């Protein structure tokens, strides 16, 4: 059985005359956590948005679960996208809704569940990501950064997705909260079996959770492989990123943890 969940070929993304991606190729495999890295402005978040349907592509092809997205009807594409869970940068929780309501919203909108049943499942999802029952009625403004990320993860898991998209999930967290988030992600992936498309700058996260790492540079993916093979790639940005002071510190921390 083909274990490719997402297959991107010859992708091109433009904003006017600005070409962000050109001839970009990448795959996401069943059950894996794929880390996507690159310098600022290389279009990591744009790539994520293209896959989940928030940014129409200008050329190329994206296949998900074996289906070409640009050939699907609106209803067919919506059915595919309901198998996605997305955690946006900074959580993107609705400020006027409490956590229970935030997480129940996808269930109310996309399933025949009653609001009462949706809110019951929302409380279960909050428990799944390690938040107490008391958190359900709290408003996002009252939460710490770590709690916001966990609540946003709970919402991303609301519809039991096959693919989880995470955009800088540990950005802005202190090292202890970031490490706890990484371990939570590994635990949930192993327990629930989803695959993860993870955009990050966090070297500790790359070393802790990622099965493969893809580097975007020069408008395309220049390498997608195990972290050891990526770190050995003869590219100036890759060498500076993985072998600079922070890269060396993350590497040694990972070695000590194993």
> Going by DSSP bridges, is the β-strand pair 84-87/67-68 parallel, antiparallel, or unpaired?
unpaired
Q: Which two tokens stand for residue 249?
A: 């510190």
- Per residue in 191-243, pLDDT (tens digit) is 999 999 999 999 999 999 999 999 999 999 999 999 999 999 999 999 999 88
What is the Cα–Cα distance from 100 to 119, expressed in whole angstroms?
6
% residues pLDDT > 70 (the chain): 94
- pLDDT greater than 70 at residue 15: yes
Contact 196, 161 (CB under 8 A): no
Q: Which two tokens stand for residue 42?
A: 């290389």
**CA atoms within 13 A of residue 44's CA, in its CB half-sphere:** 24
Under DSSP, the state recorded for 233 is -
Burial 209-218 (b: 16+ CB within 10 A, else e): bbebbbbbbe
> Residue 45's pLDDT is what?
92
> Residue 258's pLDDT is what?
60
What is the Cα–Cα distance from 61 to 57, expressed in whole angstroms?
8
What residues have CB less than 8 Å from 154, skipping those under 6 apart? 99, 103, 122, 125, 126, 128, 129, 131
Mean residue pLDDT of the chain comes to 90
- Indicate the pLDDT class of residue 248, thresholds 50, 70 and 90: low
What residues have CB less than 8 Å from 112, skipping those under 6 apart? none
Question: What is the per-residue DSSP string for 179-209?
Answer: HHHHHHHHHHHHHH--EEEEE---HHHHHHH
What is the Cα–Cα distance from 13 to 66, expressed in whole angstroms?
21
């Amino acid at each position: 059985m083909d274990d490719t969940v997402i297959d991107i070929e010859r992708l091109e993304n433009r904003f006017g005359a600005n070409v962000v991606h050109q001839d970009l190729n990448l795959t996401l495999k069943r059950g894996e956590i794929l880390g996507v890295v690159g310098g600022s402005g290389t279009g990591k978040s744009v790539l994520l948005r293209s896959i989940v349907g928030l940014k129409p592509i200008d050329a190329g092809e994206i296949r998900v679960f074996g289906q070409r997205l640009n050939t699907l009807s609106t209803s067919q594409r919506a059915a595919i996208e309901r198998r996605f869970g997305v955690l946006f940068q900074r959580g993107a929780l609705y400020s006027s809704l409490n956590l229970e309501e935030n997480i129940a919203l996808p269930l109310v909108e996309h399933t025949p569940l009653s609001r009462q049943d949706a809110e019951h499942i929302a409380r279960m999802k909050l428990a799944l990501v390690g938040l107490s029952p008391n958190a359900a009625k709290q408003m996002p403004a009252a939460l710490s950064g770590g709690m916001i990320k966990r609540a946003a993860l709970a919402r991303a898991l609301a519809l039991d997705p096959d693919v989880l998209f995470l955009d800088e999930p540990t950005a802005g967290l202190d090292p202890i909260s970031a490490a706890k988030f990484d371990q939570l992600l590994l635990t949930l992936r192993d327990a629930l079996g989803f695959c993860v498309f993870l955009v990050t700058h966090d070297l500790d996260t790359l070393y802790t959770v990622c099965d493969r790492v893809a580097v975007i540079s020069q408008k395309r993916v220049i390498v997608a492989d195990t972290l050891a093979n990526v770190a050995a790639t003869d590219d100036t940005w890759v060498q500076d990123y993985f072998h600079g002071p922070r890269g060396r510190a993350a590497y040694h921390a990972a070695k000590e943890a194993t």
